[in-house]
């Protein structure tokens, strides 16, 4: 599998602007910063991912992403910012992004998978009641060059899965759609919070839940990567999160634990910050990690802190993309946040039994 240029250790992690209060050193977190000249190390399968990308802003991270030689890049949502009912405008925004010179280099070297979030869905914070969701889905699939005879052209929602097999092991990527079927949000009257939990609503909808259950139960992959545009574990901040539908969180955790799928890792976006969340889930022999990477072109630069009982490490609010280095021999994943000039911002090593 591909070799990647890795970085020598120089300094203790220097927080990016707008970080949370420093966390205690926790299992798996390596708080170090590196330079870009370093001896190379091998990895069996490399995934890069990112979210929150404005097509009309400078995009300085593509070159660094390509330098890491990923086997796969995953869009985590808000791949463009459209927020429009005008499907021609949405198409134009996708074309603008596709023509970006840095992104073209990634397209030429790396396979792309994707989900969407609200701004490329077409409606800010939109859910199941967005009236142009069917038309928007086709524009999204056009952006990804999905063939006209692909199942996703006929099925409601952009959820999708793909298995990647290497000589040493396999990785299954399961991409969720957290927009097409999501119930309306319940507005909060609490200062500083947008939404309140809804015990009755759904995020995935019945058809997607049935599909996901089968995907996990049928999986024989060594690692399973679950992609959600919004955070799953972090729930206290009051913005969009699976925590707005708490029974959906319980349902997902129970499904992961009961399915028998090995080594499930969650990738999320949306927040304009990057962080690691880690939770011990009943019935799982390993910790469930939710790796949030956001954003590629703009971030929450005014971030001063927010609660997250599952956070491990610190919040990064500089431009950032995520990397996963999967090692089948050691049954481990090294997860990295990287920024401009490929600088390592934070990393987390998760070992699986």
Compute how many other C-beta atoms are within 10 angstroms of the C-beta atom of residue 229.
Answer: 29
> Does residue 164 lie in a domain region?
yes
Is a pLDDT exceeding 80 seen at residue 13? no
Per-residue pLDDT, averaged over 201-218, amounts to: 98
> Does residue 19 lie in a domain region?
no
> Does residue 26 lie in a domain region?
no
What is the model's pTM?
A: 0.90
Distance CA 143, CA 347 (A): 31
Higher pLDDT, 319 or 196: 319
Instruction: Please report which confidence band the pLDDT of residue 29 belongs to, taking 50, 70 and 90 as the band edges.
Output: low
The structural domain count of the chain equals 1
Instruction: Please report which confidence band the pLDDT of residue 223 belongs to, taking 50, 70 and 90 as the band edges.
Output: very high
> Does residue 220 lie in a domain region?
yes
Higher pLDDT, 32 or 137: 137
Contact 35, 79 (CB under 8 A): no
66: left (phi over 0), alpha (psi -120 to 50) or beta: alpha
Per-residue model confidence as pLDDT tens digits over 337-349: 999 999 999 999 9
Per-residue model confidence as pLDDT tens digits over 103-136: 999 999 999 999 999 999 999 999 999 999 999 9
Which CATH number characterizes residue 54's domain?
3.60.21.70
Map tokens 């703009």 to a residue: 298
Per-residue model confidence as pLDDT tens digits over 152-186: 999 999 999 999 999 999 999 999 999 999 999 99
Is a pLDDT exceeding 70 seen at residue 21? no
Distance CA 216, CA 212 (A): 6
Per-residue model confidence as pLDDT tens digits over 228-284: 999 999 999 989 999 999 999 999 999 999 999 999 999 999 999 999 999 999 999
> Does residue 25 lie in a domain region?
no
Q: How many helices (H) and strands (E) does the chain have?
A: 7, 20
Burial class (CB in 10 A: 0-12, 13-18, 19+), 185: middle
> Does residue 318 lie in a domain region?
yes
Question: Which pLDDT score is estimated for 2?
Answer: 46
Per-residue model confidence as pLDDT tens digits over 298-338: 999 999 999 999 999 999 999 999 999 999 999 999 999 99
Using alpha carbons only, how large is the chain's radius of gyration in Å?
Answer: 19
> Does residue 11 lie in a domain region?
no
The chain-wide mean pLDDT, for the chain, equals: 90
Is a pLDDT exceeding 80 seen at residue 12? no
Instruction: Please report which confidence band the pLDDT of residue 28 belongs to, taking 50, 70 and 90 as the band edges.
Output: low
Per-residue pLDDT, averaged over 55-73, amounts to: 98
> Does residue 346 lie in a domain region?
yes
Comparing C-alpha atoms, which of 150, 178, 153, 149 is closest to residue 162? 150
Domain holding 202, by residue range, is 45-351
Question: Which pLDDT score is estimated for 35?
Answer: 38
Weakest mean pLDDT among 20-29, 160-169, 200-209, 282-291: 20-29
Give me the percent of the chain exceeding a pLDDT of 70.
88
Is a pLDDT exceeding 90 seen at residue 217? yes
Comparing C-alpha atoms, which of 251, 208, 234 is closest to residue 305? 234
Burial class (CB in 10 A: 0-12, 13-18, 19+), 212: buried
């Amino acid at each position: 599998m591909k070799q990647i240029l890795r970085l020598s250790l120089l300094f203790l992690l220097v927080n990016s602007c707008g970080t949370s209060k420093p966390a205690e050193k926790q299992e798996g977190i390596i708080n170090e910063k590196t330079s870009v000249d370093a001896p190379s190390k091998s990895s069996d399968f490399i995934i890069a991912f990112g979210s929150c990308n404005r097509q009309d802003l400078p995009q300085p991270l593509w070159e660094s992403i390509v330098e890491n030689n990923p086997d796969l890049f995953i869009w985590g949502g808000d791949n463009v910012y459209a927020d429009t009912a005008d499907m021609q405008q949405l198409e134009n925004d996708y074309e603008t992004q596709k023509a970006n010179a840095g992104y073209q280099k990634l397209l030429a070297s790396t396979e792309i998978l994707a989900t969407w979030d609200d701004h490329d869905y077409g409606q800010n914070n939109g859910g199941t009641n967005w009236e142009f969701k069917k038309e928007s889905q086709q524009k999204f699939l056009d952006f990804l060059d999905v063939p006209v005879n692909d199942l996703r052209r006929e099925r409601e929602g952009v959820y999708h899965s793909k298995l990647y097999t290497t000589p040493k092991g396999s990785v299954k990527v399961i991409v969720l759609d957290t927009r097409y079927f999501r119930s309306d949000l319940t507005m909060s009257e609490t200062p500083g919070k947008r939404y309140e939990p809804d015990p009755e609503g759904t995020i995935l909808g019945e058809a997607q839940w049935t599909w996901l259950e089968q995907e996990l139960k049928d999986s024989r992959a060594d690692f399973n990567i679950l992609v959600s545009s919004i955070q799953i574990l972090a729930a206290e901040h009051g913005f969009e999160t699976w925590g707005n539908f708490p029974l959906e969180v319980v349902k997902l955790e129970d499904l992961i634990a009961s399915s028998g799928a090995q080594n499930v890792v969650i990738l999320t976006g949306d927040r304009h910050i990057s962080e690691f969340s880690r939770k011990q889930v009943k019935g799982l022999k390993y910790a469930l990690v939710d790796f949030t990477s956001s954003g590629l072109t703009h971030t929450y630069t005014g971030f001063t802190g927010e609660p997250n009982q599952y956070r491990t490490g610190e919040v990064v609010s500089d431009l950032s993309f995520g990397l996963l280095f999967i090692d089948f021999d050691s049954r481990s994943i090294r997860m990295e946040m990287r920024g401009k000039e490929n600088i390592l911002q934070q990393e987390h090593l998760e070992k699986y039994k």
